[in-house]
């Protein structure tokens, strides 16, 4: 495997579900959460953990779509950026959306592992950033939201 692709895959995995020096990754931040914790809001108008899970799944999908160059791909849930929570909001639906996050990560990994290394510095048509920047962005996005979730967990557990 090309060393650039390998490094990007390692970064993507460390931010999502592999051990890394920086601490808790995105998957680790949601491990063992109760339905109550996933739905709790720090205050009116702020996102809850469940919404963050769907948001991060959506952006993994978007990066995958850019890399694949296939605008016909559709996110499996209605909406974009911050998809609405399903109804009913029960344990089964929560687990389904956690699984969606995992499957979007796996699909992004697959597209990246098959991506031609020579194209990493190119840009998707009509978009601003290079392909490699979208991958770096996905890594940063996972880590940002992992930290946000860790903070929300601490807040809800002190209530």
For 9-25, how does the pLDDT look when each residue is reduced to its tens digit (9 = 90+)? 999 999 999 999 999 99
Structure confidence at residue 158 (pLDDT): 92
C-alpha to C-alpha distance for 103 and 105, rounded to whole angstroms: 5
Number of structural domains in the chain? 1
Share of the chain above pLDDT 90, in %: 96
C-alpha to C-alpha distance for 75 and 128, rounded to whole angstroms: 22
C-alpha to C-alpha distance for 8 and 106, rounded to whole angstroms: 14
| Sequential DSSP letters for 91-122 | HHHHHHHHHHHHHHHHHHHHHHHTS-GGGTTS
CB 14 within 8 A of CB 25: yes
Of 6, 104, 109, 114, nearest in space to 54 by CA: 104
Structure confidence at residue 159 (pLDDT): 74
- Cis check for the bond before 69: say yes or no (omega within 30 of 0): no
pTM above 0.85, yes or no: yes
Question: Which of the four pLDDT bands, split at 50, 70 and 90, describes residue 40?
Answer: very high
Q: Which helix (H) or strand (E) holds 145?
A: helix 131-157
CB 131 within 8 A of CB 91: no
Domain of 121, CATH number, reads 1.20.120.450
User: How is residue 113 annotated by DSSP?
Assistant: H
pLDDT in tens, 103-112: 999 999 999 9
User: How is residue 83 annotated by DSSP?
Assistant: P
Q: Which domain holds residue 81?
A: 3-157
pLDDT in tens, 105-131: 999 999 999 999 999 999 999 999 999
The neighbour count for residue 113, using CB atoms within 10 Å, is 13
Mean pLDDT of 75-99: 96
């Amino acid at each position: 495997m090309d060393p650039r692709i390998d490094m990007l895959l390692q970064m993507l995995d460390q931010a999502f579900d592999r051990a890394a020096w920086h601490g808790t990754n995105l998957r680790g931040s949601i491990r063992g959460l109760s339905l109550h914790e996933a739905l709790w809001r720090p205050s009116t108008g702020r996102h809850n953990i469940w919404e963050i899970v769907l948001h991060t799944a959506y952006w993994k999908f978007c990066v995958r779509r850019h890399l694949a160059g296939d605008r016909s791909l559709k996110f499996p849930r209605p909406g974009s950026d911050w998809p609405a929570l399903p109804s009913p909001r029960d344990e089964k639906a929560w687990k389904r959306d956690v699984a969606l996050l995992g499957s979007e990560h796996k699909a992004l990994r697959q597209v990246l592992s098959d991506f031609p290394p020579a194209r990493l510095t190119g840009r998707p048509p009509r978009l601003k950033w290079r392909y490699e920047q979208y991958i770096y962005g996905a890594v940063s996005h996972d880590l940002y939201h992992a930290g946000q979730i860790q903070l929300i967990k601490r807040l809800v557990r002190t209530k």
